[in-house]
């Protein structure tokens, strides 16, 4: 038994956890900003897919990885703006719009990909991000090779977590975001533009979803396939709730899910097939649903989530 | 300047005009993608129309495709009427498919098998929908997120079954063993795939309309959705109404799965539903949550899906255009719905 454990818990295992957690951390932070401002973005699943596609395509055509990342981020911001246009400016129901954005963006991703690359027996690939060891730090035993010998986008994610927390809790803009998510009426009276702040938060969220999509098609898989996102957007929706709308906890939740996912992959690979791997994949969803029931007593969700704001309606 | 002004009443003609307007806007918007693909817009839409509604065989194929979306569309329409935000029709459909397939594999007289498949499939879908409804009623848990997340739970449960104990030992593929031949739904027109389930779907729509529009339960569902405080004040047990709505909504989505197993695939595989649960949301919104409107809305989406494949073969425009049309139609309809609640008024520069 201990041999099996040794086989599972190696440096490579830790590195895999970090790699799996990275796109989830981006997506979860993105969804969190949007929800803290009071806007549920169920478009996340489709937005990630579309960004994975546009980023991959830009890199494939230009040869530049960072141009691909930029295009993915811009795509995410554009789709965020679209969702905000419907839900914030027009005040339409957020969940239905989100499903609409997901259907629209994933359809568009498939359509454009097929149009640009045609139907090929072997899907085109790119030379994706290579690991970038950080001098000195990567020499730390165990932790070094696992955390500091990663793709550049992993470091971006690691930095994004404290930055997100700082922005949300320590800047005037972060305060505005929390105000419009908790009590838009009061924010409006205090001179905060509810519409503008929500737009900005949803667009920032879209940018982070873009990074998540870019990581999947340009670092993790180095190709765009139709299953490249396969439910990771829905996982992020769960992780935001599980992480109680807090950047640190959300990132922690992403790490926890990545641990379970990596464990599941290892167990599959090492032939420990007693427990179906799907049981592990189900866990974050079940945990979140249970957590929602437990947490509901001390409501931690942004109070104005799902509620459109119209100034003239009192 | 223009501004939105709240309408006090919605003129009846708008109910019909808005979905048509949304569909027209969708087709115009998506013609840009056809042009981008270098094909003729009129020609492409023409092929799409002929291949889906042009002859009697094409019509039967479109109806077969429409049947599951009629059921999921009804499921969403019923739920949304009570403001029970059931985003989980996809998972409820899968649950219905699994349950009915298990029953259909047991040898018994065909008619009995079909009846039991329907009952068990509906019950399974209802049971899944009961989870978010109960959580909302008992713990005030947001039903949007819980019903959405359950889709993933059910999907992985289905995968665990067909890759594990339920794997078809005969083919070795991750698909379930087939149901008994005698349990296959009878085909109504020789040489087509038009099965009994399609007719059941077409009959279900007016039945659900009657239930919503003319019965006490339907009245309670509508009042609960429109004004829960007033409903409670008027002595309507809002919690019980929500639970009943969820059961009915889940059962309808489950029946979509039953139809796919009994009439189309005769077994369960991972892609038994290409997102029919989410399409149900599009259908219900296009139908303005009216059960009678669900039928034409589902037929429209089904026609786009069947037509897109033929269009792709004839013109080279990727068939994924149908997915874009679905998403665009939903967003266009949501915008169009603004006109029912508001009207645009010109405001003088002086104000």
- Kindly state whether A96 is in contact with chain B, defined as any CB-CB distance less than 8 angstroms: yes
DSSP B212-275: HHHSHHHHHHHHHHH-HHHHHHTT--HHHHHHHHHHHHHHHHHHHHHHIIIIIISS-BTTS-SS
The pLDDT, as a whole number, for residue B350 is 46
In chain B, what residues touch A114 (CB-CB under 8 Å)? 318, 320
- Give strand pairing partners of A125: A223
Interfacial A residues in 48-87 facing B (CB < 8 Å):
86
In a domain, B78, yes or no: yes
Interfacial B residues in 205-224 facing A (CB < 8 Å):
none
In a domain, A205, yes or no: yes
CB contact under 8 A, A100 and B327: yes
The total of structural domains in chain A comes to 1
Q: Which residue in chain B has the smallest CA separation from A301?
A: B142
Alpha-carbon distance of B189 to B123, in angstroms, equals 29
Torsion of CA A161, A166, A172, A174, to 10 degrees: 30
- Kindly state whether B347 is in contact with chain A, defined as any CB-CB distance less than 8 angstroms: no
In a domain, A305, yes or no: no
- Kindly state whether A95 is in contact with chain B, defined as any CB-CB distance less than 8 angstroms: yes
Angle between helices A65-84 and A194-215 in degrees, nearest 10:
140
Burial class (CB in 10 A: 0-12, 13-18, 19+), B24: exposed
pLDDT in tens, chain B (351 residues): 677 677 767 777 887 889 999 999 999 999 999 999 999 999 999 999 999 999 999 999 999 999 999 999 999 999 999 999 999 999 999 999 999 999 999 999 999 999 999 999 999 999 999 999 999 999 988 899 999 999 999 999 999 999 888 888 787 788 999 999 999 999 999 999 999 999 999 999 999 999 999 999 999 999 999 999 999 999 999 999 999 999 999 999 999 999 999 999 999 999 999 999 999 999 999 999 999 999 999 999 999 999 999 999 999 999 999 999 999 999 999 999 887 777 777 766 544
In chain B, what residues touch A42 (CB-CB under 8 Å)? 87, 144, 148
Residue B229 sits in a domain whose CATH number is: 1.10.3470
Alpha-carbon distance of B28 to B19, in angstroms, equals 14
In a domain, A227, yes or no: yes
- pLDDT per 10-residue tile (average), chain A, 314 residues: 58 89 97 96 97 97 95 98 95 94 97 92 87 84 80 95 97 96 93 96 98 96 90 92 92 92 80 75 87 74 84 61
Interfacial B residues in 48-67 facing A (CB < 8 Å):
none
Contacts of B237 (CB under 8 A, 6+ apart): none
The total of structural domains in chain B comes to 1
DSSP A129: P
Region at B235 (left for phi over 0; alpha for psi -120 to 50; beta for the rest): left
- Radius of gyration of chain A from its Cα atoms, rounded to whole angstroms: 20
Comparing CA positions, the residue from A32, A38, A34 lying closest to residue A183 is: A38
In chain A, what residues touch B139 (CB-CB under 8 Å)? 292-293, 296-297
Q: Please give, rounded to a whole number of angstroms, the shortest distance from the CA of B278 to a CA of chain A.
A: 7
DSSP A21-77: HHHHHHHHHHHHHHHHTT---TTHHHHHHHHHHHHHHHHHHH--HHHHHHHHHHHHH
CB contact under 8 A, A92 and B141: no
User: For A111, which of B278, B282, B318 is closest by C-beta distance?
Assistant: B318
Alpha-carbon distance of A215 to A228, in angstroms, equals 10
Alpha-carbon distance of B148 to A43, in angstroms, equals 12
Predicted complex ipTM exceeds 0.90: yes
CB contact under 8 A, B326 and A99: no
The pLDDT, as a whole number, for residue A1 is 47
- Supply the mean pLDDT for chain A: 90
In a domain, B351, yes or no: no
pLDDT digits (tens, 9 = 90+) for A26-63: 999 999 999 999 999 999 999 999 999 999 999 999 99
Over B87-155, what HEC string results?
Answer: CCHHHHHHHHHHHHHHHHCCCCCHHHHHHHHHHHHHHHHHHHHHHHHHHHHHHCCCHHHHHHHHHHHHH
Secondary structure tally for chain B: helices H, strands E: 13, 2
Contacts of B113 (CB under 8 A, 6+ apart): B103, B104, B106, B179, B180, B182, B183
Helix (H, G, I), strand (E, B) or coil at A107: helix
Suggest the residue from A104, A264, A280 to mutate for an interface test with chain B (most B CBs closer than 10 A): A104
Contacts of B44 (CB under 8 A, 6+ apart): B34, B311, B314, B315, B317
In chain A, what residues touch B138 (CB-CB under 8 Å)? 293
- Give the other-Cβ count within 10 Å of B270's Cβ: 13
Q: Is B71 within 8 Å of B252 (Cβ atoms)?
A: yes
CB contact under 8 A, B335 and A90: yes
Q: Is B314 within 8 Å of B47 (Cβ atoms)?
A: yes
CB contact under 8 A, B163 and A276: yes
CA geometry: angle A302, A204, A54, nearest 5 deg: 130
Q: Please give, rounded to a whole number of angstroms, the shortest distance from the CA of B111 to a CA of chain A.
A: 35
The domain in which residue B225 lies consists of 2-346
pLDDT digits (tens, 9 = 90+) for A261-284: 888 888 777 766 567 888 888 888
In a domain, B292, yes or no: yes
In a domain, A156, yes or no: yes
CB contact under 8 A, B323 and A106: yes
State which H helix or E strand residue A314 sits in. none
In a domain, A161, yes or no: yes
Q: Please give, rounded to a whole number of angstroms, the shortest distance from the CA of B163 to a CA of chain A.
A: 9
Residue A217 sits in a domain whose CATH number is: 1.10.3470
Alpha-carbon distance of A26 to A30, in angstroms, equals 6
DSSP B9: S
The domain in which residue A213 lies consists of 16-119+131-298
The pLDDT, as a whole number, for residue A157 is 96
């Amino acid at each position: 038994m201990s041999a099996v454990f040794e086989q599972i818990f190696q440096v490579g295992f830790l590195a895999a956890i970090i790699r799996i957690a990275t796109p989830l951390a981006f997506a979860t932070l993105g969804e969190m900003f949007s929800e803290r401002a009071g806007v549920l973005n169920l478009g996340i699943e489709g937005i990630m897919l579309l960004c994975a596609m546009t980023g991959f395509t830009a890199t494939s055509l230009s040869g530049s990885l960072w141009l691909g990342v930029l295009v993915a981020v811009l795509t995410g911001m554009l789709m965020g703006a679209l969702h905000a246009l419907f839900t914030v400016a027009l005040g339409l129901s957020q969940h239905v719009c989100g499903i609409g954005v997901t259907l629209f963006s994933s359809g568009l991703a498939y359509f454009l990909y097929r149009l640009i690359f045609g139907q090929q027996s072997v899907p085109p690939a790119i030379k994706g991000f290579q690991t970038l060891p950080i001098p000195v730090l990567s020499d730390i035993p165990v932790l070094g090779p696992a955390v500091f010998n990663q793709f550049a986008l992993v470091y971006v994610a690691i930095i994004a977590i404290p930055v997100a927390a700082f922005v949300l809790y320590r800047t005037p803009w972060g305060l505005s975001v929390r105000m419009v998510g908790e009590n838009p009426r009061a924010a409006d009276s205090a001179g905060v533009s509810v519409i503008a702040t929500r737009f900005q938060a949803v667009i920032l969220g879209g940018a982070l979803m873009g990074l998540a999509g870019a990581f999947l098609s340009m670092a993790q898989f180095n190709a765009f396939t139709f299953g490249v996102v396969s439910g990771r957007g829905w996982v992020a929706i769960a992780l935001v709730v599980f992480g109680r709308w807090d950047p640190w906890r959300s990132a922690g939740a992403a790490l926890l899910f990545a641990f379970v996912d990596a464990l599941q992959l290892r167990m599959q690979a090492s032939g420990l097939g007693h427990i179906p791997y799907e049981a592990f994949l189900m866990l974050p969803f079940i945990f979140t649903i249970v957590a929602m029931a437990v947490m509901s007593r001390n409501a931690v969700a942004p109070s104005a989530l799902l509620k459109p704001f119209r100034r003239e309606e009192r | 300047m223009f501004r939105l002004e709240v309408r006090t009443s919605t003129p009846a003609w708008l109910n019909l005009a808005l979905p048509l307007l949304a569909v027209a806007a969708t087709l115009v918007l998506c013609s840009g993608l056809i042009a981008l693909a270098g094909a003729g817009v009129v020609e492409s839409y023409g092929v799409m129309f002929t291949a889906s509604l042009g002859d009697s065989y094409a019509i039967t194929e479109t109806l077969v495709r429409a049947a599951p979306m009629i059921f999921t569309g009804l499921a969403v329409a019923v739920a949304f009427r009570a403001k029970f935000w059931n985003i989980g029709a996809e998972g409820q459909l899968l649950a219905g498919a699994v349950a009915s397939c298990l029953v259909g594999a047991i040898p018994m007289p065909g008619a009995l098998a079909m009846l039991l498949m329907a009952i068990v499939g509906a019950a399974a879908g209802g049971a899944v929908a009961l989870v978010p409804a109960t959580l909302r009623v008992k713990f005030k848990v947001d039903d949007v997120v819980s019903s959405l997340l359950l889709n993933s739970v059910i999907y992985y449960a289905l995968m665990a079954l067909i890759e594990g104990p339920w794997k078809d030992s005969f083919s070795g593929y991750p698909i379930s063993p087939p149901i008994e031949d005698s349990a296959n739904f009878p085909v109504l027109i020789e040489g087509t795939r038009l099965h009994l389930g399609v007719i059941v779907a077409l009959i279900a729509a007016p039945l659900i309309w009657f239930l919503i529009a003319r019965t006490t339960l339907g009245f309670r569902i509508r009042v609960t959705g429109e004004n829960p405080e007033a409903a409670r004040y008027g002595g309507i047990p809002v919690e019980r109404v929500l639970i009943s709505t969820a059961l009915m909504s889940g059962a309808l989505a489950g029946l979509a799965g039953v139809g796919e197993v009994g009439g189309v695939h005769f077994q369960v595989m991972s892609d038994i539903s290409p997102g029919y649960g989410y399409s149900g949301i599009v259908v219900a919104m296009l139908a303005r949550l009216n059960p009678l409107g669900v039928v034409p809305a589902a037929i429209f989406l089904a026609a786009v899906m069947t037509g897109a494949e033929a269009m792709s073969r004839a013109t080279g425009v990727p068939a994924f255009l149908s997915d874009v049309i679905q998403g665009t139609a939903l967003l266009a309809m949501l915008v169009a719905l603004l006109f029912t609640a508001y009207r645009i008024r010109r405001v003088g520069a002086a104000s």
